[in-house]
Amino acid sequence: MSSDRVQQGRTAATRPFRVGELVITKHELHKRKRYLEITSEDEQRLRAVHEYLVPHLDAMVDRFYDYLLAHEETRRILTATPDRLERLRAVQRQYFLDLTSGHYDLAYLEDRVRVGLAHQRIGLSPEWYLGAFNKYREIAAQVLELVLGHDAEHCHRTLNSLNKVISLDMSLAIDAYVYSAQEKLADRASALEVAHAELRQLGEAKQRLTDMIVHDLRNPLSGIVAFLQILGEREEGLTDQETIGLRAALSRCEDLSHLIMNVLQLSQAERGELPLQIERVDLVELTDGSVSAFRQVAERTGKQLSFRSRAGSLPTRTDEGLLRRVLYNLIRNALQHTPQGTRVEVSVMAGPPFHISVADDGPGIPLALQDRLYEPGALRKAGLSGDSGLGLSFCKMAADALRMRLRVESKPGRGTRFLLEDGEDLSRRHRRSATPPPARDLSLLD
């Protein structure tokens, strides 16, 4: 909002004007003057003293700007451009003249609103603008006492009349700020609505593309895996080298299958549509089975993979398939991003709170990367991964859906430890929130 957007009305004192949603009409003018008890006697009283104040006008302006320039914020604003201060001095001189003119019509009100908008445009906040009005009062009162000091009663009445007009100006200045700000907010809200609609369209397009990619990859991949499995069932005809190649091909197919599922379930989680199948699960059995699935991979890459649990069984209720995929991703990451000879240990601790740990004694994760670890593609962008970099993003979203906490402990050169912990504290947070939790609390069963 700027002063040029105020409806013109200076040529006719009876012509209404608008500031945002506020329309200043003759009726509005009379209402404000009536509320502040500005009477014809007040106007006459100020007209009578006007000629006595004119000789003091330049001194009043100088004192006023000495006050403004003594404060760093207003000094910075007033001297932002070479000619701003002089232009504002001229405007201020005219304002002091108008203040005691005794003519407070629509043209006067519009001029006051324009001044308010001009101050807003240059960045003067209401606190400083209202402080300036207080300085007006002080300077004007001192000049009036100088001019009318011989008649204390007349001086008091004149000062009271002047205070009423200054209060009228203050109300108009506040309106200029408020209604201009409301118009800006309305413009921003409209821009946000447009941006939201565009974002929604992009999200829908992204989802269509994701669904298409997942569909177009899963079907041929299933056919390739089936063919490779049939080929592997042949008892004769494959050399040792061919058998190694077949196993490697099946392993790559499995990696690709996990990548496809990561893409699919990340997309579902982003939309808040990640389906959960809550059932009774033994955490020890689930974790041990997840480790067993990677023993051959660990052996082929020259790494030691082990499982440890003091408890023989830890029953709970959770989504078995989703939790297994989280464990698969964490174990696979530990094996992929560490050198030959690394030891990887997966453990389950009963707690409370219980937790599942995937730890390695590899090179660790750079400190600068740890805050961005769960961003899609963070490892790949940092040159630490050759894959899609979606695994940890998926793990974080899945852990949140399962009401678990996923955190990392790592020091460069001293290994890395990922912890999946019981989300007890997270549960309390959900209970304090008005938003229903996305899944049942994950807690151990008796």
Q: Encoding tokens for residue 150? A: 């011989």
As a 3-state breakdown, the chain gives helix, strand, coil percent values, each rounded to 5, of 60, 10, 25
Structural domains in the chain, CATH included, are 3-197 (1.10.490.10), 277-432 (3.30.565.10)
For the chain, helix (H) and strand (E) counts, in that order, are 16, 9
pLDDT number for residue 3: 35
The span from the CA of 155 to the CA of 340, in Å, is: 95
Closest alpha carbon to 250 in 223, 233, 219, 229: 229
| Residue 418: φ, ψ to 5° | -100, 135
DSSP conformational letter for 6: S
pLDDT number for residue 378: 66
**C-alpha neighbours within 13 Å on the C-beta side of residue 51:** 2
Q: Is the peptide bond before 352 cis (omega within 30 degrees of 0)?
A: yes
pLDDT number for residue 14: 59
The span from the CA of 376 to the CA of 13, in Å, is: 64
Residue 419 three-state SS: strand
| Residue 133: φ, ψ to 5° | -60, -40
| CA–CA distances in Å: residue 206 to residues 36, 212, 263 | 60, 10, 11
Closest alpha carbon to 293 in 266, 319, 337, 257: 257
Extended beta strands in 283-363, E state: 304-309, 315-319, 343-349, 355-360
Looking only at the bridges linking them, the beta strands covering 343-349 and 315-319 are unpaired
pLDDT number for residue 446: 44
Looking only at the bridges linking them, the beta strands covering 17-19 and 22-24 are antiparallel
- pTM for this predicted structure: 0.46
Q: Encoding tokens for residue 122? A: 């240059």
pLDDT number for residue 8: 40
> Using an 8 Å Cβ cutoff, are 166 and 133 in contact?
yes
Mean pLDDT by 10 residues, the chain (446 residues): 38 64 83 92 92 89 89 86 86 86 88 76 75 83 84 89 89 79 84 87 70 64 75 71 77 71 67 78 92 87 92 88 88 88 92 87 86 74 57 84 90 90 53 43 46
Residues whose CB is less than 8 angstroms from the CB of residue 268 and which lie 6 or more positions away in sequence, other chains included: 274, 275
pLDDT number for residue 330: 93
The span from the CA of 139 to the CA of 66, in Å, is: 12
Residue where the block lists tokens 């309106």? 175
